[in-house]
Amino acid sequence: MRTKAKTGLMLFLILLLLTGCTKTQDPPAENASVVVGFSQLGSESSWRIANTASMEQSAKEFGFSLMMENANQKQEKQIDALRSFIAYRVDVIVFSPIVQTGWDNVLTEAKKAGIPVILMDRMIKSQDESLYTAYVGADFYAEGRRAGEYLIRKADTLGTDHLRIVEICGTTDSTPMRDRQRGFMDVIRKDPRFEVIASVNGDFLRSKGEECMRELLQQYGADGFDVIFAHNDAMMLGALDVLEHTDDPAIQSIIRITVDGEKEVVEALKAGRINCVVQCTPHLGPFVMSLVKDIKEGKKVRKTYHPDEGVFSDLDDLTAPEVEGF
């Protein structure tokens, strides 16, 4: 009995010591009273799932209370979530708008209630910039340009004079769809070697990427196009599911360009099944939460925060340590 009591005491002391050691890393207690209302747009891709995890993890690390609502790809559900955050009088609203338009009314309500809004990952289109405090997310236009620049390098390397491109686009009217397309087109438009023969909507979903590829193959045949530019990895993976089950050697030479950089795709790149991955990081949680902290402390914040991103491709060193997916 005595030995048991001693062991118990020892364990208790060790635990005390351990909690003492981690104490310094605990977030300040006052952060616990900060409520962040977070409206996520859905769960359409591995990117989105990693992004949600990043937000949850960072909120925990900062000690904020996170009220999260997932809109399952429906703008009306996002609007409802924002209204519920306003009614609850959260301290800060963070949201990732599924499309760019249609937010003015609800954001005006948030503004009137004095609740700062951070746009995370996607932008809105509005005449009134005061409807949001800051935007944290990728520079999608630069991503589109990187995809175009890779294609130019690839065409130079191959010495080819005509490449027919099919584009599998993300959700219509979303920022990444619009800006990746614009950036890509701005780079290739003036080069007569390139011709976009089809732009189809894959809604950022693997299942739709698959559907799009089936239709494209039906319409053009395996030798009817030379390049696939998919606006995200999920759609590229769906397209590959179809392409790699097509019994036509013509598919081998199709150049495949995608955006995001999830693990499965980076592995496919290293295995030679994909040619180029333009990076788009989902790990935005730490940026967002430190912004919430600054806003709460009354600090002046920048309007736009873009993470650093690059490109992985078959024209670069794929053994470099930074070539890895999320």
Look up residue 73 and give its two tokens: 């790809």
3-state SS, residue 156: helix
3-state SS, residue 290: helix
Closest to ligand AHR by CB, 107 or 277: 277
Within 40-79, the residues that bind ligand AHR by CB under 6 A are 44-45, 47-48
Closest to ligand AHR by CB, 47 or 184: 47
* Residue 119 in contact with ligand AHR, rule: CB under 6 A: no
Handedness of CA 140, 146, 147, 152 (dihedral sign): positive
Size, binding site for ligand AHR by CB under 6 A: 13
Site string for ligand AHR, 163-182 (x = CB under 6 A): -------------x------
Tell me the chain's radius of gyration from C-alpha atoms.
Answer: 23
Interface residue with ligand AHR, options 280, 284, 291, 311 (CB under 6 A):
280
Is residue 213 within 8 A of residue 238, CB to CB? The reply is yes
Closest to ligand AHR by CB, 148 or 226: 148
Residue of 312, 309, 222 lying closest to 265 (CA atoms): 312
The bridge status of strand 35-40 relative to strand 65-70 is: parallel
Least distance from ligand AHR to the Cβ atom of residue 140, Å: 7
Least distance from ligand AHR to the Cβ atom of residue 312, Å: 15
Closest to ligand AHR by CB, 107 or 138: 138
Least distance from ligand AHR to the Cβ atom of residue 286, Å: 17
* Residue 122 in contact with ligand AHR, rule: CB under 6 A: yes
Least distance from ligand AHR to the Cβ atom of residue 288, Å: 14
Within 15-44, the residues that bind ligand AHR by CB under 6 A are 44
CA angle, 304 then 52 then 265, to 5°:
90
From CA 120, how far away is CA 135, in angstroms rounded?
6
**Buried b or exposed e, range 243-275, using 16+ CB within 10 angstroms:** beeeeeeebeebbbbbbbbbeebbebbbeeebb
Q: How far is CA 180 from CA 109, 173, 260, in A?
A: 31, 12, 12
Interface residue with ligand AHR, options 85, 132, 150, 204 (CB under 6 A):
204
Site string for ligand AHR, 209-248 (x = CB under 6 A): -----------------------x-x--------------
Closest to ligand AHR by CB, 43 or 108: 43
Q: Which residues here bind ligand AHR, judged by CB under 6 A?
A: 44-45, 47-48, 121-122, 176, 204, 232, 234, 259-260, 280
